[in-house]
Amino acid sequence: MKTIGLLGGMSWESSAEYYRIINQQIKQELGGHHSAKILLYSVDFDEIAQLQHQNKWGELTQQMIHYSKLLEQGGADMLVICTNTMHLMVPDIEKHIHIPILHIADAAGLAIQQQKLKKTALLGTKFTMQQDFYKQRLMQNYDISVIVPNAQDQETVHRIIYNELIHGQIRSESKRTFLKIIQQLHDEEAEGIILGCTEIPLLIQQTDCLTPLFDTTLLHASMAAKQALKLEV
């Protein structure tokens, strides 16, 4: 079994889900007393969030490179960044480490391909929804077109993520708001919805709506568990 390097804390609420899902899947696959081999570097998210909202992406990139190097030096065989937004830095991080990065958009893309969908909607932080790094990867690598909510709904989704979900606050009113936005995206012919922020699955699950949902936390963590076993020497 290979060692998974988790770069987490963005937020710790969703990072805890990564730890749980990976260990559950390793246990299910191997049985007995087995659990995953994991190295976790957990950041202080307040520092990250402030730099995000100050648009200091260069400084954030240097921090992410530093944390990734620490995980590689600690013995991680692969890197799993436990957040969608910070995959913006993956091309820069890849230049400075020698272990593979399991990209969260790949986890989503493979799952969407399996269901033979061609047009999906992306929900996440406004950084993820407004920039192209996620949408372009899905289009170029998986031939999946991606739409996002209108500007007002983007602000609403972003606010709920940062003001509520990151703090572990689950509100029925916010769930209703998300479901309304999902319905609007479905009406715009989105065949599925990418829950492109690792906190969103804390609020919305597949049982809440008929439109196919792609839980990036579950998909990404599952990819890590499978890769850890696949790479076994």
What local confidence, expressed as pLDDT, does residue 230 receive? Answer: 85
Q: What is the dihedral of CA 219, 224, 225, 227, to 10 degrees?
A: 120
Helices 151-163 and 172-187 pack at an angle, to 10 degrees, of: 150
Active site residues: 83, 197
Domain boundaries, the chain: 4-103+219-230, 104-215
Q: CB under 8 Å to 136, separation ≥6 — which residues? A: none
pLDDT in tens, the chain (233 residues): 999 999 999 999 999 999 999 999 999 999 999 999 999 999 999 999 999 999 999 999 999 999 999 999 999 999 999 999 999 999 999 999 999 999 999 999 999 999 999 999 999 999 999 999 999 999 999 999 999 999 999 999 999 999 999 998 999 999 999 999 999 999 999 999 999 998 999 999 999 999 999 999 999 999 999 999 985 43
Specify whether the CB–CB gap between 28 and 63 falls below 8 A: no
Query: What is the Cα–Cα distance from 111 to 124, expressed in whole angstroms?
Result: 18
- Given this chain, do its domains 4-103+219-230 and 104-215 carry the same CATH topology? yes
φ, ψ for residue 81, nearest 5 deg: -90, 115
Specify whether the CB–CB gap between 33 and 65 falls below 8 A: no
- The hierarchical CATH code for the domain 4-103+219-230 is 3.40.50.1860
* Beta strands across the sheet bearing 38-42: 38-42, 4-8, 78-81
Output the DSSP codes for 37-62.
Answer: -EEEEE--HHHHHHHHHTT-HHHHHH
pTM for this prediction: 0.92
Q: How many helices (H) and strands (E) does the chain have?
A: 10, 7
If DSSP codes are grouped into helix, strand and coil, which group holds residue 123?
strand
Q: CB under 8 Å to 37, separation ≥6 — which residues? A: 1, 2, 3, 4, 228
Q: How many CA atoms lie within 13 A of 55 on its CB side?
A: 1
Looking at domain 104-215, its CATH architecture is: 3-Layer(aba) Sandwich (3.40)
